Amino acid sequence: MNNKILNIDLDSKKVSEKPIEEEIFTDFLGGRGLGIKLLTDYLPKSTDPLSKLNPLIFSVGPLTGTLTPTSGRFSLVTKSPLTNTIFHSNSGGFWGPYFKRCGYDCLFIKGTLSSDNKGYILIDGYDKIEIKDAESLWGLKTSETLKKIQEMEGKNCQVLSIGPAGENLVKFSAIMNQAHRAFGRGGVGAVMGSKNIKAIVVKNGTLKFPVKNKEYMKKLAIVARDKIKVVPITSQGMALFGTAALVKVINSFGMFPVNNYQFAYTEPEKIDLVSGERLRERFLEKSEGCYNCIIRCGRMTNTGEASGKGPEYESLWALGPLIGIFELKTITHANYLCNDYGLDTMSTGATIACAMELQQKELIKHDSLTFGNKDSLCELIEQISLRKGIGNELAEGSLRFSRKYNAQDYAMQVKGMEIPAYDPRGAFGHALNYAVSSRGACHLTGFLVALEVLGAPKKINRFSVRGKSDLLYLKQNQSAVEDSLVTCKFVGYALGFEFTARFLSTLLDRKISITDLITIGERIYTLERLFNIREGFSRKDDILPKRFLETPLQDGPSKGRVVPLDDLIDEYYKVRNWDENGIPTDSLLEKLSLKRLI
């Protein structure tokens, strides 16, 4: 690690450096963990996420930019305007390694530029940090922004930017990475837009990362790459079809949500229309990968009318079957448009789906909001991004939108964030993770679908309750560590947690055990819980929409199921060493060297 934080104060336009204490690295690693620690230390209670006080914290990890496979990822931490919870996200590509080569581990942005002063941040090597005028960039889509910045700063730069959605403070706007990757969830684009920052550009980093045992690191990387090449999920499924390989698989378990989760199973002939296999057959131009990744799950596509990246599994679902659309070209164009405007595809589709069910139930009247209406989708995306017409209401997210019409039960969300593409009635451990995740409904913080559905590394009963809490505890802690190192979760299917410990041990030239990492993950996850408790969240918020608790699925392999959430949560709190209200106990805080937040 470089052991340096780059601080940018937008109020004063001052740039400074600050060392990172060794104890923080030991206890939180980097990436997500470092960001969580810095945010909880800095942010006052009840801060408005769109105020100047809420920072954007970008962090790399100790493995970022090394020989470790999939080590191109980096993390973002802030307070979410969509959920008002603590929020973490991560993205791949090359920005993280580029930034680390400039000599920093963390970028801490606070304050805001004046309303008449739009800017972008340039990090040019180690000694040239500027806030440059972005008036000519404001209002541009992300692809246009990338092109113009590359004209000004050179092709060999990496660009994070917001589109019109972030500028207009859409509650689920994204920060786009090279215009087609994303810090996608939670409205982080609105936080950046509230600071009047259009882009963050990094280039010309030349620093090399020292590894004390470089030869062993090389050997370990070779073994790891060989394993990735032979495990079916990473060598075939993801490599051939990208994340959309999951479409048929999840549907076959009766967990693929349609029409705002009113259904979770579609007949094979129809689901094939939106499958990863069909996407590859019709639109794939080439696969694409992040820094030091041989899986290359990214899909560069071309419909004959437009080209871009994706859609990924979640985007394909949210902009397609979730709103009753099974036409792949329409879905792909909508995905391109979300990327260009800087929208989270998942919350976009889920919020539209919520509105469509309100229309179906005659709680609102808006002709374009009908399931299966492919002709209005792209127009709705534009309206949301520009906050025009019905788009201004939808831009607040499904929870706020539905509350306006006294119809909260039709918003498929947890803590304000829309639920991903796995119906929780089909996998109880995954359902529990949705309910208790610190950032709202999230599939990545404890992806028990891997065990309950995919059988990676082993298959477990997806409808059992007993033992799920122990598995989720481990999975959530593991995920926190992966996000802090920072590595891709897909490589975990092939390598397991043991390889993670070995790579870190080799890098630091000291023994790091799996137990050590699990404890670090527990510390990060517990600190996130403490932040949310301080902000007023409690057991009452660890809940799923009534649909999943009271309305059984009517057909498919998960027919007749509802989620026994209370039983799952009672067991989970005990495993976590939290009390019956979900508050971490004094003994746990002593074990993890944490204090309650005030």
Of all residues in the chain, what percent carry a pLDDT higher than 90? 88
Q: What is the mean pLDDT of residues 335-362?
A: 98
On whether residue 48 sits in a domain, the answer given is yes
> Does 268 have pLDDT greater than 90?
yes
Q: What is the mean pLDDT of residues 544-558?
A: 98
Dist. CA 571–CA 429, nearest whole Å: 11
> Does 440 have pLDDT greater than 90?
yes
On whether residue 284 sits in a domain, the answer given is no
On whether residue 60 sits in a domain, the answer given is yes
According to the 3-state scheme, what is the secondary structure of 342-387? CECHHHHHHHHHHHHHHHHCCCCCCCCCCCCCCCCHHHHHHHHHHC
Q: Which residues contact 215 (CB under 8 A, 6 or more apart)?
A: none
Per-residue pLDDT at 209: 78
Per-residue pLDDT at 495: 83
CATH of the domain at 170: 3.60.9.10
Dist. CA 232–CA 360, nearest whole Å: 42
According to the 3-state scheme, what is the secondary structure of 94-161? CHHHHHHCCCCCEEEEECCCCCCCCEEEEEECCCEEEEEECCCCCCCCHHHHHHHHHHHHCCCCEEEE
Total Cβ atoms within 10 A of residue 421: 25
Q: What is the mean pLDDT of residues 543-568?
A: 98
- Asked if residue 211 has a cis previous peptide bond (ω within 30° of 0), the answer is no
4-9: strand order across its sheet = 14-19, 4-9, 106-110, 56-59, 74-79, 86-91
Over residues 38-82, the pLDDT tens digits come to 999 999 999 999 999 999 999 999 999 998 989 999 999 999 999
The count of structural domains within the chain is 1
Of all residues in the chain, what percent carry a pLDDT higher than 70? 100
Burial class (CB in 10 A: 0-12, 13-18, 19+), 296: middle
Per-residue pLDDT at 456: 81
C-alpha closest to that of 199 among 147, 127, 156: 147
C-alpha closest to that of 224 among 63, 31, 75: 63
Q: Considering the entire predicted model, what is its pTM?
A: 0.97
Per-residue pLDDT at 213: 83
Banded pLDDT at 586 (limits 50, 70, 90): very high
Residue 178 belongs to what domain range? Answer: 4-203
Cα angle 557, 417, 162 (rounded to 5 degrees) comes to: 120
Sign of CA dihedral 211, 215, 220, 224: positive
Q: What is the mean pLDDT of residues 80-109?
A: 97
> Does 201 have pLDDT greater than 90?
yes
Over residues 137-192, the pLDDT tens digits come to 999 999 999 999 999 999 999 999 999 999 999 999 999 999 999 999 999 999 99
Q: Is 392 helix (H, G, I), strand (E, B) or coil?
A: helix
Q: Is 82 helix (H, G, I), strand (E, B) or coil?
A: coil
Over residues 458-497, the pLDDT tens digits come to 899 999 999 999 999 999 999 999 999 999 988 877 787 8
On whether residue 120 sits in a domain, the answer given is yes
Cβ pair 324, 258 in contact under 8 A? yes
Could you tell me the two tokens for 596?
Answer: 């309650």
Lowest mean pLDDT among 343-352, 467-476, 502-511: 502-511
Q: Which residues contact 72 (CB under 8 A, 6 or more apart)?
A: 64, 65, 92, 93, 94, 96, 97, 290, 291, 292, 293
Banded pLDDT at 29 (limits 50, 70, 90): very high
Burial class (CB in 10 A: 0-12, 13-18, 19+), 497: middle
C-alpha closest to that of 138 among 201, 179, 56, 193: 193
Over residues 280-325, the pLDDT tens digits come to 999 999 999 999 898 899 999 999 999 999 999 999 999 999 999 9
Per-residue pLDDT at 499: 86
Q: In the block, which residue shows the tokens 């790891």? A: 224
Q: In the block, which residue shows the tokens 């191109």? A: 72
DSSP 409: G
On whether residue 402 sits in a domain, the answer given is no
Per-residue pLDDT at 179: 97
On whether residue 442 sits in a domain, the answer given is no
Per-residue pLDDT at 231: 82
> Does 348 have pLDDT greater than 80?
yes
Cβ pair 208, 433 in contact under 8 A? no
Per-residue pLDDT at 290: 92
Dist. CA 510–CA 507, nearest whole Å: 8
Per-residue pLDDT at 576: 98
Q: What is the mean pLDDT of residues 92-100?
A: 96
Per-residue pLDDT at 498: 85
DSSP 51: S
Q: Which residues contact 516 (CB under 8 A, 6 or more apart)?
A: 501
> Does 548 have pLDDT greater than 80?
yes
Per-residue pLDDT at 108: 98
Per-residue pLDDT at 458: 85
Per-residue pLDDT at 522: 98
On whether residue 409 sits in a domain, the answer given is no
Per-residue pLDDT at 455: 87
Lowest mean pLDDT among 43-47, 80-84, 206-210, 448-452: 206-210
Q: What is the mean pLDDT of the chain?
A: 95
On whether residue 248 sits in a domain, the answer given is no
Could you tell me the two tokens for 374?
Answer: 């492919």
Dist. CA 488–CA 500, nearest whole Å: 11
Amino acid at 35: G
